[in-house]
Chains A and B, each alone.
Chain A
Amino acid sequence: MKSKLAFRPGQGHIEDMKNPLQQELETFERLKDQLLQDEGKFAVISGKELLGVYSTYDDALQIGYERYNLTPFLVKKISAVEQINFFTRDLPVPCLT
């Protein structure tokens, strides 16, 4: 998803920023048809590897850290329709390019 602005956490300003989990998102999209068999659960992905699917966010996060330690990994809820979060106030958000 394309966006124009990005917020750099901890530095208080807005600028372009790439998504550090882009490859994991692409893996998620590539595997989505397969993952939808477990809709509502949480997928754990690092790079091109799907670690597994777990019933709760807590379980997925715990197992992700146990497997990948402090290297990047993605925890994402499996949903046929992407869940959108709504805010009634404006936010200078960390949008990803």
Chain B
Amino acid sequence: MPHITVPIDRFSGPVIALVVGVSFAKHAILKKQGITAPSPVIMNFLVDSGASHTVVDAVSIAPLAMAPTGVTYIHTPSTGETPVAVQQYDVSLYLHHPDNSKMIPNLAVTASDFSKQNIQGLLGRDVLEHCLLVYDGRAGSFALAF
């Protein structure tokens, strides 16, 4: 199983760089129409087992010119008793590995504001459920196998 080992950031925690682009489904239709797809963006994601799905920074994905293709409901510590509806966007997610990179061609994510948090997204359990995550606090690193 290919894996990558990354130092745990002293302030942000287990952060990993991923490439976010338009979904493969959207890319295909853009290509068919002769439209150049927006360039993917590299974003730092906090590996967050407390997030049930992946979230991206709205400002960081602005260059991808995303339009919502879904709606879901979320609970956070401040949403109270009633979950709130949020938009979902379809993206592709790419994790580079020298021998065996991981690509998720179509992933539904939500957007939020991480501008004050030194990260551009949360890598949630919708992705982690396909991975093996080892958090080695003593060594100051974590490993993600996929």
The contact of B85 among A57, A74, A86, A96, by CB within 8 Å, is: A96
Please classify the interface of chain B as helix (H, G, I), strand (E, B), loop, or mixed, using the class held by over half of its residues: mixed
Q: Which residues of A contact B52 (CB under 8 A)?
A: 85-87
Interface with A: B3-11, B56-64, B133-141, which one?
A: B56-64
CA distance A86 to B44 in the complex (A): 21
In the complex the two chains form, is B74's CB within 8 Å of A12's CB?
no
Verify if B77 is at the interface (C-beta below 8 Å from A).
yes
The contact of B76 among A1, A3, A82, A87, by CB within 8 Å, is: A87
CA distance A7 to B52 in the complex (A): 20
Q: How many A-B residue pairs have CB under 8 A?
A: 151
In the complex the two chains form, is A84's CB within 8 Å of B75's CB?
yes
Chain A nearest CB from B103 CB (Å) reads 12
Number of interface residues of B (CB under 8 A): 47
Query: What size tier do the contact residues of chain A reach?
Result: 35 or more
In the complex the two chains form, is A1's CB within 8 Å of B85's CB?
yes
In the complex the two chains form, is A95's CB within 8 Å of B59's CB?
no
- B16-39 CB contact bits vs A (8 Å, 1 = yes)? 000000011110110001000000
Q: Which residues of A contact B113 (CB under 8 A)?
A: 7, 12, 14, 91-92
Verify if A33 is at the interface (C-beta below 8 Å from B).
no
Verify if B1 is at the interface (C-beta below 8 Å from A).
no
In the complex the two chains form, is A75's CB within 8 Å of B70's CB?
yes
Q: Which residues of A contact B (CB under 8 A)?
A: 1, 3, 7-12, 14, 19-21, 25, 57-58, 61-62, 64-66, 69-70, 72-76, 82-96
Q: Which residues of B contact A (CB under 8 A)?
A: 23-26, 28-29, 33, 48, 50-53, 55, 58-59, 61-62, 66-78, 82-87, 89-90, 105-106, 108, 110-113, 115, 122
